[in-house]
């Protein structure tokens, strides 16, 4: 019999997730009491590429929006694209005010180029350690903020609801379940990369927030669209797989197959700087056909590696590869999820009392394929938007007495079963078909999870598989070998509920029930 959770009333907001989205939301909620909980560091600190924003003299928010739309393969929410690209420069200024030091030369920000960007607009911190630099500065602010209590490592297990409203979150703290009742709950739990055998995402990033939201009755959207980074280190024994940043290709690094042939110019006019889904599938196919693919930066970067890309240089040297004179073996790895909890322009989910922000949320910014370096920007833009909306919804509330007397214990991020990760990479990664998707769904049907964490990851995986099975076309990060063309008639978003996932029976489930649009989305 399951242990009955201890209940604690918290007179403020609980944020689940300690990455950029959660931290930005927490800081901007002041003076409301905030309980910031998480079981791991998330993905933000691992980001190498940087933040995209229209701060250059030759750039503009309109051009940034145009590039975002062009790379997305459709399905964008135009209001989200306009909001993020318009607010981008102001959010960069806000990050600077919070202590983030972006790289500059002679007092002028240095801007890089990445795939599908028409101008240089990527800002970095410490070369290719952008995420770590940003998070280091923001955590100094978190630790100094009187209104924020950090509770970590703590594992969030499920949401509490009453009369159709989210009223709190159940945690596994100090080895026992604890229910934190709160005025509002914000999910900032990141994506689901660890559901796949190869991923750049750290342990614990396995769709937990999506699973919790679906189980509580919230709606998910665009779940089929998973972006695979083309150039993760080809080191199957490591998880997560270290990333060879896209900025290397922006500097001129090239991809060569096992025969020494540079293949990307044969596939796309932008060659190595084509949209990520195009490059990732090309690398995937080249590995299958020739045995390996390498990223060769020996000519483009060479001796400048330690200064320009210190993170990649260190990672490569740790594996016995000197990237100044040797190409880096690479392979695609699950990197970013374009889908997630369906939210409106304020970050509200379909359930009152529940907001979502960052990768766990689907604002519609990314469409079917994310433009490089738009993810950190989205978190920086929507964190303050969510905070402002929560304050508006809650109205005047007491801003004292918000501390929770609770020991974090030694909770660890959940581990995804190896068979599940292998199954998802085999049947639901870069190339999918009906047979593989149905086989994977059958395997999940017979799996009986033993923990709340496993229930969440199972449901997130099922949502990806059902959405991929129903979308009988290829678009962005979703490629069906049995439906390789893009079908304009299917240029619409698909919303998923818990019932839709559980009731899916192959062809028996028509696409129509999944088209239910939320009133505020």
Q: Where are the domains positioned within the chain?
A: 6-191+338-394, 232-331
What is the mean pLDDT of the segment spanning 270-283? 90
Res. 518: pLDDT tops 60? no
User: Which CATH number is 232-331 given?
Assistant: 3.90.700.10
DSSP H/E element including 444: helix 434-445
The string of DSSP letters for 152-183 reads -S-EEEEEEEETTEEEEEEEEETTEEEEEE-S
Active-site choice (91, 158, 249, 276): 276
- The CATH superfamily holding the domain 6-191+338-394 is FAD/NAD(P)-binding domain (3.50.50.60)
Res. 449: pLDDT tops 60? yes
- CA dist 254 and 299 (Å) reads 9
Under the banding of pLDDT at 50, 70 and 90, the label for residue 508 is very low
Res. 512: pLDDT tops 60? no
Res. 1: pLDDT tops 70? no
Q: What is the pLDDT of residues 377-434, one digit of tens each?
A: 999 999 999 999 999 999 988 776 668 877 766 667 889 999 999 999 999 999 999 9
Question: Among the listed ranges 72-86, 153-167, 267-281, 505-519, which one has the minimum average pLDDT value?
Answer: 505-519
The answer to whether residue 276 is catalytic is yes
Spatial strand order in the sheet of 226-233: 226-233, 328-337, 293-296, 254-257
Give yes or no for a contact between 155 and 411, defined as CB atoms under 8 angstroms apart: yes
Q: What is the structure's pLDDT at 41?
A: 65
Give yes or no for a contact between 332 and 230, defined as CB atoms under 8 angstroms apart: yes
Give yes or no for a contact between 34 and 150, defined as CB atoms under 8 angstroms apart: no
- CA dist 136 and 130 (Å) reads 10
Half-sphere exposure (Cβ direction) of 450: Cα atoms closer than 13 Å? 4
Res. 92: pLDDT tops 60? yes
- CA dist 107 and 105 (Å) reads 5
Half-sphere exposure (Cβ direction) of 191: Cα atoms closer than 13 Å? 28
Distances (CA, A) of 164 to 159, 160, 218, 390, 496: 12, 10, 10, 18, 17
Q: What is the structure's pLDDT at 215?
A: 98
Q: What is the structure's pLDDT at 410?
A: 66
Q: What is the structure's pLDDT at 116?
A: 82
> What's this model's pTM, rounded to 2 decimal places?
0.92
In terms of DSSP bridges, do strands 328-337 and 226-233 run parallel, antiparallel, or are they unpaired? antiparallel
Res. 319: pLDDT tops 60? yes
Under the banding of pLDDT at 50, 70 and 90, the label for residue 237 is confident
């Amino acid at each position: 019999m399951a242990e009955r959770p201890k209940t604690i009333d918290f007179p403020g907001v609980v944020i689940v997730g300690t990455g950029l989205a959660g931290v930005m939301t927490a800081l901007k909620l002041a003076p409301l009491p905030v309980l910031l909980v998480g079981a791991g560091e998330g993905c933000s600190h691992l980001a190498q590429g940087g933040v995209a924003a229209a701060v250059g003299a030759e750039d503009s928010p309109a051009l940034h929006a145009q590039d975002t739309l062009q790379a997305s393969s459709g399905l964008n929410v135009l209001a989200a694209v306009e909001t993020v690209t318009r607010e981008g420069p102001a959010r960069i200024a806000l990050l600077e005010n919070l202590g983030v030091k972006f790289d500059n030369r002679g007092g002028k920000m240095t801007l890089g180029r990445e795939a599908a960007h028409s101008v240089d607009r990527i800002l970095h911190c410490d070369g290719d350690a952008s995420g770590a630099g940003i998070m280091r500065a923001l955590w100094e602010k978190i630790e100094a903020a009187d209104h924020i209590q950090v509770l970590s490592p703590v594992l969030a297990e499920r949401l509490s609801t009453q009369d159709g409203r989210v009223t709190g979150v159940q945690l596994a703290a100090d080895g026992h379940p604890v229910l934190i009742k709160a005025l509002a709950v914000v999910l900032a739990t990141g994506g689901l990369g660890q559901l796949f055998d190869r991923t750049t995402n750290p342990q614990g990033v396995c769709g937990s927030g999506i699973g919790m939201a679906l189980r509580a009755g919230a709606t998910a959207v665009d779940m089929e669209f998973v972006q695979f980074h083309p150039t993760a280190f080809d080191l199957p024994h490591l998880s997560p797989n270290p990333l060879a940043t896209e900025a290397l290709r922006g500097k001129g690094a090239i991809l060569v197959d096992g025969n020494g042939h540079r293949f990307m110019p044969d596939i796309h006019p932008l060659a190595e700087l084509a949209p990520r889904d195009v490059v990732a599938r090309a690398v995937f196919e080249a590995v299958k056909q020739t045995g390996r693919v390498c990223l060769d930066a020996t000519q483009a970067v060479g001796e400048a590696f330690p200064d320009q890309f210190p993170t990649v240089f260190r990672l490569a040297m740790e594996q016995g590869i000197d990237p100044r004179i040797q190409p880096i073996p690479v392979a695609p790895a699950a990197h970013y999820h374009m889908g997630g909890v369906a939210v409106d322009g304020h970050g509200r989910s379909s359930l009152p009392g529940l907001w979502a922000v960052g990768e766990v949320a689907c604002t519609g910014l990314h469409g079917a394929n994310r433009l490089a370096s738009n993810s950190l920007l989205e978190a920086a833009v929507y964190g303050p938007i969510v905070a402002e909306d929560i304050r508006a919804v809650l109205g005047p509330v007491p801003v004292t007495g918000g501390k929770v007397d609770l020991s974090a214990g030694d909770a660890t991020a959940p581990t995804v079963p190896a068979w599940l990760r292998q199954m998802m990479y085999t049947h639901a990664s870069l190339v999918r078909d009906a047979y593989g998707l149905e086989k994977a769904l059958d395997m999940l049907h017979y799996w009986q999870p033993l923990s709340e964490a496993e229930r969440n990851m199972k449901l997130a995986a099922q949502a990806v598989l059902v959405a991929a099975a129903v979308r009988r076309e290829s678009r962005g990060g979703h490629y069906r070998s049995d439906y390789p063309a893009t079908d304009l008639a299917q240029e619409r978003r698909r919303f998923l509920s818990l019932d839709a996932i559980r009731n899916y029976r192959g062809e028996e489930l028509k696409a129509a029930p999944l088209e239910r649009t939320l009133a505020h989305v």
